[in-house]
């Protein structure tokens, strides 16, 4: 797997490999979501990771404090020898955090993230600080939490997607925003110069021709009136091993100001390895990172 680094060069995003390109689709079937919230008067990030393998789905729940140190992590496997519903208690900033989950009726598609029929909630002092899933009434009834909306904000999502020419997923570019169909199209097998096309809700929002010369770069698009900066790195699709992946990042700015495409990439203080709580403090909004793997 590879990530965008903390430094960007004038010629585009410089990318370094951090694992073998022979990673299988099963091993990479992971979705990671990061939420920002407050616990005990302090800013924290909650990381929920959904994964899928030959045995079934599972997820982990972790809380980090504002110093970017891991405070606690709970790995919950609803399948196999574990119950599909339950509760665990954690301690963060001298506060008790009760994590509840019910996946007994969860519906799954091809990916590891449930589509519906579930809830995952975190309760502090009777307040629901994070609530995921569509079974909200059941969650409040089970937890006896105050029936107020959770204060957590989704600040990043990392996902692995698979295809041959088309790579599709669902995307939301702001908290509680509209769900969009996002499709990345790139034919690197046929004869001729490959072209990169990105569609949102079937509308072409970005097209990169002469891709062999522009295999890394960035461009600004508008979605729901928001400026969304798109970074891409398809070098390994074109010149790497057959099982290599491309990386895409879609990033919004909470100030709503449109990024200038002429801005030097070295001026952007973003790195996927950085904590998103820090990135948000620097004025960055939501970030969606997609690892696009070719099916062979």
Q: Do 15 and 246 touch, CB atoms closer than 8 A?
A: no
According to the model, what pLDDT value does residue 173 have? 85
Q: Alpha-carbon distance 160 to 51, whole Å?
A: 10
Name the pLDDT band for 99 (thresholds 50, 70, 90): very high
DSSP string covering 84-143, please?
A: SEEEEEEEETTEEEEEEEE-TT-EE-SSSSEEES-EEEEEETTEEEEEEES-HHHHHHHH
Cα dihedral sign, 25-28-30-35: negative
Please write the tens of the pLDDT for every residue from 243-267. Answer: 778 999 999 865 434 333 333 333 3
Higher pLDDT, 200 or 55: 200
For residue 239, give the H/E element and its range. helix 235-239
Residue 5 CA, distance from chain mean position: 16
pLDDT at 90 over 80: yes
According to the model, what pLDDT value does residue 70 have? 65
Looking at the DSSP bridge assignments, the partners of residue 119 are 102, 133
pTM of structure: 0.78
Which residues have a Cβ under 8 Å from the Cβ of 191 and sit 6 or more positions away? none
Please write the tens of the pLDDT for every residue from 118-160. Answer: 999 999 999 999 999 999 999 999 999 988 878 788 989 999 9
Please compute the mean of the pLDDT values over residues 91-116 and round it to a whole number: 87
Domains in the chain: boundaries: 2-26+156-294, 40-151
Please compute the mean of the pLDDT values over residues 4-33 and round it to a whole number: 47
Return the SS3 of 234.
Answer: coil
Please compute the mean of the pLDDT values over residues 44-61 and round it to a whole number: 85
Higher pLDDT, 90 or 267: 90
pLDDT at 117 over 90: yes
Half-sphere exposure of 247 (CA within 13 A, CB side): 22
According to the model, what pLDDT value does residue 75 have? 73
Cα dihedral sign, 54-57-58-59: positive
| Cα–Cα nearest to 216, from 206, 230, 229, 231 | 231
- Which stretch of 29-38, 79-88, 108-117, 247-256 has the lowest confidence by average pLDDT? 79-88
pLDDT at 8 over 50: no
Cα dihedral sign, 216-219-224-227: positive
According to the model, what pLDDT value does residue 111 have? 83
Name the pLDDT band for 214 (thresholds 50, 70, 90): very high
pLDDT at 44 over 80: yes
Name the pLDDT band for 278 (thresholds 50, 70, 90): very low
Please compute the mean of the pLDDT values over residues 43-55 and round it to a whole number: 86
Q: Alpha-carbon distance 187 to 271, whole Å?
A: 28
According to the model, what pLDDT value does residue 40 have? 79
Please write the tens of the pLDDT for every residue from 166-186. Answer: 999 988 887 667 889 999 999
According to the model, what pLDDT value does residue 219 have? 94
Name the pLDDT band for 78 (thresholds 50, 70, 90): low
Please compute the mean of the pLDDT values over residues 79-106 and round it to a whole number: 81
């Amino acid at each position: 797997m590879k990530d965008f680094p903390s430094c960007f060069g004038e010629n585009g995003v410089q990318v370094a490999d951090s694992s073998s390109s022979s990673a299988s689709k099963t091993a990479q079937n992971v979705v990671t979501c990061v939420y920002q919230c407050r616990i005990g008067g302090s800013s924290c990030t909650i990381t929920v990771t959904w994964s899928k393998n030959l045995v079934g789905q599972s997820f982990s729940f972790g809380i980090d404090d504002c110093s970017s140190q891991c405070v606690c992590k709970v790995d919950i496997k609803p399948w196999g020898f574990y119950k599909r519903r339950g509760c665990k208690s954690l301690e963060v900033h001298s506060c008790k955090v009760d994590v509840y989950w019910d996946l007994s009726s969860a519906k799954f598609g091809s990916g590891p993230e449930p589509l519906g029929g579930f809830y995952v909630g975190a309760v502090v002092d009777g307040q629901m600080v994070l609530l995921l899933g569509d079974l909200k009434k059941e969650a409040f009834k089970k937890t006896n939490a105050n029936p107020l909306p959770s204060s957590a904000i989704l600040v990043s999502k990392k996902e692995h997607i698979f295809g041959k020419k088309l790579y599709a997923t669902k995307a939301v570019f702001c908290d509680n925003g509209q769900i969009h169909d996002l499709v990345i199209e790139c034919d690197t097998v046929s004869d001729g110069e490959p072209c990169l096309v990105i569609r949102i809700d079937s509308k072409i929002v970005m097209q990169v021709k002469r891709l062999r010369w522009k295999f890394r770069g960035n461009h600004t698009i508008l979605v729901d009136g928001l400026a969304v900066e798109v970074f891409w790195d398809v070098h390994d699709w074109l010149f790497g091993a057959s099982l290599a992946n491309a990386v895409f990042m879609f990033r919004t700015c909470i100030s709503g100001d449109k990024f200038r495409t002429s801005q030097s990439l070295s001026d952007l203080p973003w790195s996927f390895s950085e904590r998103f709580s820090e990135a948000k403090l620097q004025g960055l909004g939501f970030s969606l990172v997609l690892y696009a793997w070719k099916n062979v």
